Structure 1
Amino acid sequence: METPLPGTAQRVPASTSEEINEAIRHETGDRLQYYAEHPEEIDDRLAELEREWDIERTLEANASALILVCLGLGATVDRKFLAMPAVIAAFLFQHALQGWCPPIPVLRRLGVRTQREIDAERYALEALQNAQ
């Protein structure tokens, strides 16, 4: 029996090591604790969250930049560079299906979060703010 593909919201955390997921949750918890003690700074943090790039946007921006660079190099330096956009597209397709591709573990270790993780912090901060 085939294993179904993970749902969109769960696919990145499902393909990330539990150690990294826990570190991201822990960092978010630490921030929430800080802002519970400093509610006057919540508005600034909410503004930061609006500007934070999620894992999807980060991956898309990096992949498209690499594709453009490789196309330029393929057109001006060596045609072998034209193979890279195909490899990058395959990785993007893999990510779309499974939530994993080679850059994901690196980006997650760097603390790049999913939109759901960013939204969870936003909602918790708004709840803290409304409780004031």
Structure 2
Amino acid sequence: MELPNTNERVAINTSEKVNNDIQMYIQNSIYFYRRNPQLIEQRLDELDKEWDIERVLETNASSLIVASSALGFIASKKFFFIPFVVGTFLLQHALQGWCPPLPILRRLGYRTTSEIQEEREALQNIIKGIRHVTRN
């Protein structure tokens, strides 16, 4: 079994419509900030704080593992099955780029690091272009 490229694994496991919606969001953002360059620094700060899909998945998975493990000790050993399932899904995501919550989170607009970086670089290029023009 050949594993997908790290930078592409989430996108290839996301519906074409959702990928297109995310790309449209990026393009609309670039269009907006090209016309409002005074707001770019603020947007770059927002991008620094944006949680990528990996961070969201890891946080949700670890929260479920901790909570269900505690319940396994306190309430019922049956709760120990949840960390097993969550760990399996997390492993599947790490290897293949897919896990059950991925489609939902992507539809909610969570982006990959590459997608966030794509917007960041485009905005930084706008700033560089403005600085170049004002120097000349």
Specify the TM-score bucket, using the shorter chain as the normaliser. Answer: over 0.9
Runs of 4+ in structure 1 deviating by more than 4 angstroms, as ranges, are none
Q: Does residue 1:127 correspond to 2:128, yes or no?
A: no
AA aligned to 1:17 is S
- What displacement does 1:8 show? 0.4
Aligned position for 1:100: 98
Gaps of 5+ in 2: 131-136
1:130 Cα offset (Å): 1.0
State the alpha-carbon separation in 2 of the partners of residues 20 and 14 from structure 1.
11
Q: Distance in 2 between matches of 1:113 and 1:12?
A: 9
Tell me the alpha carbon deviations over residues 89-117 of structure 1, each in whole angstroms, 9 at most, x when there is no partner. 00011001110000100110000000000
Q: Using the alignment, how far apart are the partners of 2:25 and 2:119 within structure 1?
A: 10
The correspondence of residues 18-33 of structure 1 with structure 2, limited to 5 A, is 18-33=16-31
The TM-score normalised by the length of structure 2 is 0.93
Question: Please, what TM-score do these two structures have when normalized by structure 1?
Answer: 0.96
Task: Indicate the SS of the match to 1:128.
Answer: helix
Q: CA deviation at 1:124?
A: 0.1
The separation in 1 between residues aligned to 2:111 and 2:35, in whole angstroms, is 24
Q: 2:87 corresponds to which residue?
A: 89
Q: Gaps spanning 5+ residues in structure 1: where?
A: none
- Are residues 1:54 and 2:66 paired? no
The whole-number CA distance in structure 2 between the counterparts of 1:49 and 1:99 is 22
Question: Per the alignment, in what secondary structure is the counterpart of residue 5 of structure 1?
Answer: coil
Q: Which amino acid aligns with 1:54?
A: D
Corresponding pairs, count: 130
Residue 71 of structure 2 aligns with which residue? 73
